[in-house]
């Protein structure tokens, strides 16, 4: 029998007996002319594709102890094997001019798929159902029958669906072993071994035909066309060893393991732009060398806010090995799209894709510039675009904004004697100055209230930066110059410097005009007020001294909880009519007065953007319940103090001191240990670390 005759029978026969049988030997000297793809293969009536496929209810692993549910799952698998058989027959008919040795390999693989189908049919019968008793889907047929070349075929079937089967067969083999079904386990183990050979066969031809200037991974990613992507070539749990056994390159395996691209859900697009306030402070702002290094090192942090199908814009895609480490500890890996000179490339498919929304670190002019090409692709309403942005949102980033917020908080609790005794007073509300003379007047007024130490802050500036600390009675020429230079561009706020006993933040989300409370995070700042650590404990008072814990709560009241609710209501009023949406945070602290008494300053700064405190909340979602954590930014000074020569050495030391322990499968959670949040092998100015106790 000729290969062509055999393939025609497999593809067009309407009985399983004809589709699943064939001679032991075949000849291929009359391959004929290429066949146009039929609408569907020939099949018995009970195995024909449903007219309106819709979404099939995949049985999954729940209730596998029940034979009928087990049989329904195997029915899905049997249909996939039959589809593979038919698709291989189609390839033999579509590409008669393909190399003879390639066609011979397809014939051999086809026969193994016939055998797999018969094995499933026998097992189904033992479980009490016939093949064809359940509806079957045509997804494989729709996505593979349109192949345009043998290269297309090995990319779609061998390296996509059969590669994914290395995960499915191994996982379900373990599941059937768990419930004591050794017959089905043995069946899946046999198919698994054959699939390793099938993937290897396709890989060898793929490597012969691909562009030699491209890596296997780059060629594979480029070869697949919508609706297929490398996401279809894997499942969870990911079976790296099976791929190594099939001969796949370890770099390819790492890239596939971390690969993420939406299979249908419209993704959100994330961007790290940490200098929003600086861009607002003065036109033409450009980060200095140190700031640029920090932004480069930490540009992947938005991935911890992202879902698996989301997109994170970066200047340089993270190293696959680093991302693989993060995925192994339970973090979802989004899709990364590289910018060119700070812009989305003209040729990027992101410019043409439907997107859910845009989520920069902060809504500011620099973010708008990068994200503007995507505005027309957004399915949700944008907060503001172009010229609308500045008059609607700019005031939210100014430190002047905290004055009415703090005033209203104090007014709302004015009649509450207990709360009033614990909160700061109106004296601690910052004062605004628009000229040097006005600034000097406000500084003197604060000192007359008994506060000798005063701080002046630029209206737009990240916490701890662009501020002037006035410790001595006299204003020096340098300090006078700073005031003049700053006031030439913006106003300054002036407030007493207070002795802090605890820094913390209230975290919120603004959506559809409502601000909702998210959580409380403790912080550790340096002497200048610049961020160093975020700290999370299951109970907020955990780890605090008795006097600090006591000022925050008592047996009958949760003062922080009440403040959190009140602030959410105040912020809801504040953003009314602006359309602002996204994360918001309010920095606060507990301070000690000169008489030793503790008080709470509930509104120090408003951050209408993501913050390290909010990042800490997201990170703790990937940890086991009841754990404490610390997220730290390690700079060059801390690196030097540690005695380590590089961030890579620092990371190795930290991980040896805090060995990683995970809990749960297939998507684990961190039980304890240290994780680096950016790649220590590439960090030049800053390393973000997470330690879970």
What digits encode the pLDDT tens for the residues 512-552? 889 999 999 999 987 777 789 999 999 999 999 999 998 88
The residue among 525 and 206 whose pLDDT is bigger is: 206
For residue 524, being part of any structural domain is answered with yes
The per-residue pLDDT for 55 is: 55
Does residue 243 lie within any of the structural domains?
Answer: yes
Q: Can you tell me which residue has the tokens 């209730």?
A: 63
Based on the fold, state whether residues 167 and 246 are members of the same structural domain. yes
Q: What is the CATH number of the domain that holds 105?
A: 1.20.1260.10
Pair type for strands 499-511 and 661-663:
unpaired
Read off the pLDDT of residues 82-133 as tens digits, 9 standing for 90 and up.
999 999 999 999 999 999 999 999 999 999 999 999 999 999 999 999 999 9
Q: How far is CA 599 from CA 194, 499, 596, in A?
A: 71, 10, 10
Mean of all residue pLDDT scores within the chain: 92
Q: Are residues 202 and 128 in the same domain?
A: yes
Measured between alpha carbons, how far is 386 from 80 in angstroms, rounded to an integer?
Answer: 51
69-94 pLDDT, tens digit per residue, is 899 999 999 999 999 999 999 999 99
Tell me whether residue 38 is in a domain. no
**275 shares a domain with 245:** no
pLDDT one-digit tens code per residue, 10-46: 999 999 999 999 898 999 999 999 999 999 999 999 9
Of the pLDDT bands very low, low, confident and very high (cuts 50, 70, 90), residue 463 is low
Segment 345-350 shows an average pLDDT of 92
Cα 516 vs. chain centroid, distance in angstroms?
Answer: 22
**Residue 29: inside a domain, yes or no?**
no
3-class DSSP state of 550: helix
Q: Is the torsion defined by CA of 198, 200, 203, 207 positive or negative?
A: negative
Number of independent structural domains in the chain: 4
The reply to whether 428 and 565 lie within a common domain is yes
Read off the tokens for 8. Answer: 């025609």
Query: Are β-strands 357-360 and 268-271 bridged in parallel, bridged antiparallel, or unpaired?
Result: parallel
Does the pLDDT value for residue 51 go beyond 80? no
β-strands 598-607, 582-592: how paired?
antiparallel
Domain's final residue, options 551, 585, 610: 610
Instruction: Measure the CA–CA gap between 667 and 286, rounded to whole angstroms.
Output: 41
DSSP state of 118: H
Whole-number pLDDT of residue 543: 93
pLDDT computed for residue 395 by the predictor: 84
Q: How confident is the model at residue 495 (pLDDT cuts 50, 70, 90)?
A: very high
Mean pLDDT for 182-211 is 97
Which residues are CB-contacts of 10 (< 8 A; sequence separation ≥ 6)?
18, 19, 22, 85, 86, 88, 89, 110, 114
Whether 535 and 439 map to the same domain: the answer is yes
How many residues does the structure list for the chain? 693
In a domain, 52, yes or no: no
Closest CA to 139 of 155, 156, 114, 121: 156
Domain membership of residue 408 (yes or no) is: yes
Structure confidence at residue 59 (pLDDT): 64
The rounded distance, in Å, linking the Cα atoms of 467 and 299 is: 25
- Asked if residue 297 is part of any domain, the answer here is yes
Full domain range(s) for residue 290: 268-381
Residue 121 has what pLDDT?
97
- Tokens at residue 326, please? 């993060």
Task: Say yes or no to pLDDT of 385 above 80.
Answer: no
Residue closest to 310 by CA, chosen among 348, 255, 357, 377: 357
213 and 298 share one domain: no
Q: Is pLDDT above 60 for 348? A: yes
In this structure, of 154-168, 382-396, 448-462, the range with the lowest mean pLDDT score is 382-396
Coil, helix or strand at residue 303 = helix
Judgement on whether residues 320 and 407 belong to the same structural domain of the protein: no
Q: Do residue 464 and residue 594 come from a single domain?
A: yes
Structural domain includes residue 416: yes
Please check whether residues 371 and 514 belong to one and the same domain. Answer: no
Name the more confident of 351 and 283: 351
User: Residue 501: pLDDT band by 50, 70, 90 thresholds?
Assistant: very high
How far apart, in whole angstroms, are the C-alpha atoms of residue 315 and residue 36?
Answer: 45
Do residue 282 and residue 252 come from a single domain?
Answer: no
Residues 630 and 687 grouped into a single domain:
yes
pLDDT digits (tens, 9 = 90+) for 661-688: 999 876 789 999 999 999 999 999 999 9
Q: What is the mean pLDDT of residues 287-292?
A: 89
pLDDT at 558 over 80: yes
> Domain ends where: 587, 610, 633?
610
Which tens digits make up the pLDDT trace of 579-638?
888 999 999 999 999 899 999 999 999 999 999 999 999 999 999 999 999 999 999 999
687, 682, 689, 684: which is closest to 318 by C-alpha? Answer: 682
> What pLDDT score does 131 carry?
96
DSSP string, 182-228: HHHHHHHHHHHHHHHHHHHHHHHHHHHHS-TTS-HHHHHHHH--TT-
Residue 389 has pLDDT above 80, yes or no: no
Residue 493 belongs to a domain with what CATH number? 3.30.470
Tell me phi and psi for residue 240, to 5 degrees.
-70, -35
Beta bridge mates, 516: 509
Cis amide leading into 227 (omega within 30) = yes
Same-domain check for residues 450 and 507: yes
Last residue of a domain, one of 352, 381, 410: 381
């Amino acid at each position: 029998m000729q290969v062509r005759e055999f393939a025609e029978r497999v593809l067009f026969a309407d009985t399983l007996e004809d589709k699943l049988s064939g001679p032991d030997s075949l000849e291929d000297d009359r391959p004929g002319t290429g066949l146009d793809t039929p609408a569907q293969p020939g099949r018995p009536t009970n195995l024909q594709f449903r007219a309106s496929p819709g979404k099939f209810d995949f049985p999954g692993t729940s209730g596998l102890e029940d034979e009928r549910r087990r049989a329904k799952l195997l029915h899905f698998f049997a249909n996939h094997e039959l589809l593979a058989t038919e698709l291989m027959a189609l390839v033999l008919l579509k590409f008669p001019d393909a190399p003879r040795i390639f066609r011979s390999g397809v014939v051999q693989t086809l026969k193994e798929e016939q055998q797999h189908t018969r094995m499933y049919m026998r097992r189904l019968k033992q479980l009490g159902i016939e093949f064809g008793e359940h509806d079957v889907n045509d997804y494989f047929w729709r996505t593979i029958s349109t192949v345009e070349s043998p290269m297309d075929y090995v990319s779609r079937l061998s390296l996509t669906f059969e590669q994914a089967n290395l995960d499915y067969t191994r996982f379900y083999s373990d599941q059937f072993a768990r419930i004591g079904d050794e017959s089905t386990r043995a069946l899946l183990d046999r198919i698994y071994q054959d699939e390793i050979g099938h993937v290897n066969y396709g890989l060898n031809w793929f490597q012969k035909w691909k562009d030699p200037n491209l890596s296997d991974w780059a060629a594979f990613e480029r070869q697949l066309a919508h609706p297929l992507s490398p996401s279809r070539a894997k499942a969870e749990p990911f079976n790296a060893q099976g791929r190594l056994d099939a001969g796949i390159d370890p770099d390819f395996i790492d890239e596939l393991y971390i690969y993420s691209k939406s299979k249908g859900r419209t993704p959100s697009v994330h961007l790290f732009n940490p200098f929003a306030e600086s861009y607002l402070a003065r036109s033409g702002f450009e980060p200095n060398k140190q700031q640029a290094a920090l932004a480069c090192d930490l540009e992947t942090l938005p991935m911890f806010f992202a879902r698996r199908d989301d997109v994170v814009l970066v200047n340089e895609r993270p190293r696959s090995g680093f991302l693989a480490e993060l995925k192994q500890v339970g973090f979802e890996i989004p899709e990364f799209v590289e910018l060119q000179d700070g812009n989305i490339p003209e040729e990027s498919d992101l410019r043409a894709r439907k997107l859910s929304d845009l989520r920069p670190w902060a809504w500011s002019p620099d973010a708008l510039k990068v994200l503007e090409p995507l505005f027309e692709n957004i399915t949700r309403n944008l907060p503001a675009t172009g010229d609308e942005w500045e008059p609607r949102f700019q005031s939210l980033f100014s430190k002047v904004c905290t004055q009415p917020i703090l005033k209203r908080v104090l007014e709302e609790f004015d009649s509450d004697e207990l709360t009033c005794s614990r909160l700061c007073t109106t004296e601690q509300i910052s004062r605004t100055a628009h000229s040097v003379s006005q600034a000097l007047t406000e500084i003197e007024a604060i000192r007359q209230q008994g506060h000798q130490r005063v701080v002046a802050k630029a209206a737009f500036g990240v916490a701890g930066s662009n501020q002037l600390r006035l410790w001595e009675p006299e204003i020096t020429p340098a300090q006078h110059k700073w005031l003049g230079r700053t006031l030439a561009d913006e106003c300054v706020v002036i407030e007493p410097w207070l002795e802090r006993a605890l820094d913390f933040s209230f975290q919120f989300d603004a959506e559809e005009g409502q601000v909702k409370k998210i959580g409380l995070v403790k912080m550790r700042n340096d002497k200048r007020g610049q961020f160093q650590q975020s700290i999370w404990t299951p109970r907020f008072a955990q780890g605090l001294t008795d006097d600090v814990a006591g000022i925050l709560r008592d047996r009958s009241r949760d003062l922080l909880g009440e403040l959190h609710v009140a602030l959410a209501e105040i912020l809801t009023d504040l953003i009314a009519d602006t359309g602002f949406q996204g994360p918001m945070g309010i920095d606060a602290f507990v301070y000690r007065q000169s008489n030793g008494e503790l008080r709470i300053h509930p509104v120090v700064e408003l951050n209408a953007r993501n913050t390290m405190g909010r990042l800490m909340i997201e990170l703790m979602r990937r940890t086991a319940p009841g754990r404490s954590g610390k997220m730290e930014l390690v700079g060059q000074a801390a690196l030097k103090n540690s005695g380590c020569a590089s961030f890579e050495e620092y990371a190795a030391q930290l991980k040896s001191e805090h060995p990683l322990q995970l809990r749960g499968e297939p998507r684990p959670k961190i039980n304890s240990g240290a994780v680096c949040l950016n790649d220590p092998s590439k960090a030049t100015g800053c390393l973000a670390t997470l330690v879970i106790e």
